[in-house]
Structure 1
Amino acid sequence: MPHAPARPTLRLAAVLALAVLTVGACASGPSQPERTTLTQEPTVEVAKAAPPAVVVPPRWPLTGEAADAVVDRPAIAVKIENPREVRPQTGLDQADVVWEQVVEGGITRFVAVFHSQVPAEVGPVRSIRPMDPAIAAPLHGIVAFSGGQQAFVRELGQSGVQLMSQDGGAAGFYRKKGVMPAPHNVYGTPTTWWENADAGHSASPPAQFAFARRADQSTVLTAGTPATLLDLRLSGYSRPQWAFDTASGTWLRSEGDTPATARSGARLAARNVVALRVQLVDSGTKDPAGNPVPETVLVGTGKGTVVSGGKALEVTWSKPATDAVLTLTAPDGSPVTLAPGVTWVELVPASSGSVTVS
């Protein structure tokens, strides 16, 4: 049997072929998974809501107090007298700003400025003095008065204000019976004066002081020292005092030791009292009784004291011109801001008066 040895050789070849196929299969490794292409979704822009508008309430320019609405009308500066026999006066409790000045004989007179409130009646109304233009001119409004030397009246008219003079026949003045004899019985109605404002004097006044938004943000509250009493000597006749009242947060006025009130019965009070040390000079004129008429010098610079909210602060005041607004500066040179509310300005003679804080 010559062909028998060929069979093992065929079997071996088959085995080798199978091994080669198996190794090849193992070398190729496991099958790779199919790749998936991810499609990015388009970006959607979401509109952002606008922030709510900040609502800033309007504020009365002479007090800095917020209001639902501020009436556009001029300020009215009224000359009101202050000897003992005419107290209590009418309307002082409704003024935004009150200036106190020394006149002849050591008595004082007020320049009461009305804007945010409308008193039914004010008085007794008296005559003007040579320092009144420097007080009234920055208001660009109306000055109501009864009498005055012609030179004083002329200077006041030249300062840019509108004059409402009882002697000049302006409406709104009358003599009130049963109070005092003439000339201490002239009273007036501010509504009538407002109605007669001319086109050049019908706008609201500019702010006369810088005010903080809140009392606790005012310069006196943040930089001042504790105080409860402001004792002033304007003359031998006039010694007003201001005492801090914690309950109301205001300074209450007294004439000497007597509490000062208005005819309404309301106590005269202020959020801020500004005591300015000023020069008092002879105006070169005399009143009908022959007394020299003094003039307070308000154009220039000087020292002062401001009390507000149970604190006091020494300041420097400056007023470069008759129609310029008075500015107050703190010891560090920064502008002084007052607490919103009524302000009284006391013009204290530097040479003969005094300012005592305790």
Structure 2
Amino acid sequence: MPTPAPPRPSRRTRTHAVALGLVALLGACSGGGDGPTEPPVTLPPVITPAKHAAPAPVVPPRWVLTGVASGEPVERPALAVKIENPKEVRPQTGLDQADVVWEQVVEGGVTRFVAVFHSQVPTEVGPIRSVRPMDPAIVAPLHGVIAFSGGQPGFVEALSAAGLQTVSHDAGNDGFYRTKGRTAPHNVFGDPAAFLAQADAGHAASPPEQFHFARRPELATAAVAGAPAAQVAVTMSTYSRPSWEWSAADGTWLRSESGTPATSASGSRLAATNVVTLRVDLVASGTVDPAGSPVPETKLVGSGEALVATGGKTLAATWTKASTDAPLTLVAADGTDVRLAPGATWVELVPNGTGAVTVG
């Protein structure tokens, strides 16, 4: 007799069995049971690099009148001193420590210096002489102190009117004295530190920039774009004929007076990193000196031809000065500002017509 088939599960029973299977499957997937499990996957963090501007280059402080780097320039005014230059007073004292020296023609064709001190303060300077009508245009842009011995009242008043503080031997200001071994009026010398100590609150600040400077000598405009030169000979007058010879060994221009090497009283050769010659008009000022000689005046407000000597090369340029208290600007033929090499600068005010500049 055949064995009867087992009873077929009901629909409800089948549904319950499927549900239990699903639960078991889900439990296995969720890590239940004895089987191995996959470790969790850890993704590395997403790092987005920050975008910053390149750091600014570190530019060391520089002396404003020379462009020479300095650890920390001293805050003090520029001091201009009038120093004479006839043959009988050479060698002068202190010229080798000036930041800038201006040479001007005075009566009789003799030249006189306006020596400007800022980065260095010598212990002595001289012989000190009187001011002239072109001095305000030279010194006013410095907004500092000018020391001198003598000068016509109108010339002295013009300095004060240009915003300068005057320190005068004739007025009895401190720091002046007469030395032995020299005859008057060539024996007045002075102590620059004493002159600077008299600066009032309105004239105590360091001067503004007077020339543009390259960061390094080889980047100076004349060094980059100029023509090689070994000498710059200047005719200031029939009496005064300074010249400058390039010394590659010293990296500087060396000064001579009518072919004789020019030195300071210290024995140092007078030298300049930059020699700038400006062609200027020399006119009668309408005044005479105590000897009755006409006093000339250099016209320094305006524009004219210039020659810049730097690094054994020379570059033709144009000078411009908008007003008495405006600084002088030097522009190259391509219209760009001329940048000098860091160091001392001598400026020769060469008269149009009677003066000359020869490059050799």
Normalising by the residue count of structure 2, what TM-score does the alignment of the two structures yield?
Answer: 0.87
Query: Which of the numbers 85, 89, 96 marks the counterpart of 2:88?
Result: 85
Aligned residues: 324
How many Å apart are 1:52 and its aligned residue?
Answer: 6.5
* Pair 1:235-2:240 in alignment: no
Deviations along 1:236-277, one digit per CA (max 9) or x if unpaired, are 000000000010110000001100000000000000000000
SS of residue paired to 2:139 = helix
SS of residue paired to 1:65 = coil
What is the percent sequence identity of the aligned residues?
64
| Amino acid in structure 2 at the alignment position of 1:133 | P
How many Å apart are 1:41 and its aligned residue?
Answer: 1.4
- Report the equivalent of 2:100: 97
Query: Which of the numbers 208, 211, 217 marks the counterpart of 1:209?
Result: 211
How many Å apart are 1:55 and its aligned residue?
Answer: 2.6
Paired with 1:52 and 1:131, the residues of 2 have a C-alpha distance of 46
Paired with 2:49 and 2:227, the residues of 1 have a C-alpha distance of 52
Q: Which moved more, 1:42-51 or 1:132-141?
A: 42-51
- Report the equivalent of 1:159: 162
* Pair 1:120-2:123 in alignment: yes
- Report the equivalent of 2:199: 197
Deviations along 1:63-117, one digit per CA (max 9) or x if unpaired, are 0000111000000000000000000000000000000000000000000000001
How many Å apart are 1:47 and its aligned residue?
Answer: 7.7
| Amino acid in structure 1 at the alignment position of 2:117 | F
| Amino acid in structure 1 at the alignment position of 2:200 | D
SS of residue paired to 1:323 = coil
Query: Which of the numbers 303, 306, 310 marks the counterpart of 1:304?
Result: 306
Structure 2: tracts of 5 or more residues without a match? 1-37
Deviations along 1:310-341, one digit per CA (max 9) or x if unpaired, are 10000000000000000000011110000000
SS of residue paired to 1:200 = helix
Query: Which of the numbers 304, 315, 318 marks the counterpart of 1:316?
Result: 318
Deviations along 1:20-69, one digit per CA (max 9) or x if unpaired, are xxxxxxxxxxxxxxxx8974515154887987664321000000000111
| Amino acid in structure 2 at the alignment position of 1:97 | V
- Report the equivalent of 2:25: none
Deviations along 1:214-241, one digit per CA (max 9) or x if unpaired, are 0100100111000010010000000000
Which consecutive aligned stretches of 4+ in structure 1 deviate over 6 angstroms post-superposition?
A: 46-53
- Report the equivalent of 1:264: 266
Paired with 1:188 and 1:175, the residues of 2 have a C-alpha distance of 8
- Report the equivalent of 2:297: 295
Query: Which of the numbers 310, 316, 338 marks the counterpart of 2:340?
Result: 338
SS of residue paired to 1:105 = helix
Query: Which of the numbers 55, 58, 68 marks the counterpart of 2:58?
Result: 55
| Amino acid in structure 2 at the alignment position of 1:209 | F
| Amino acid in structure 2 at the alignment position of 1:125 | I
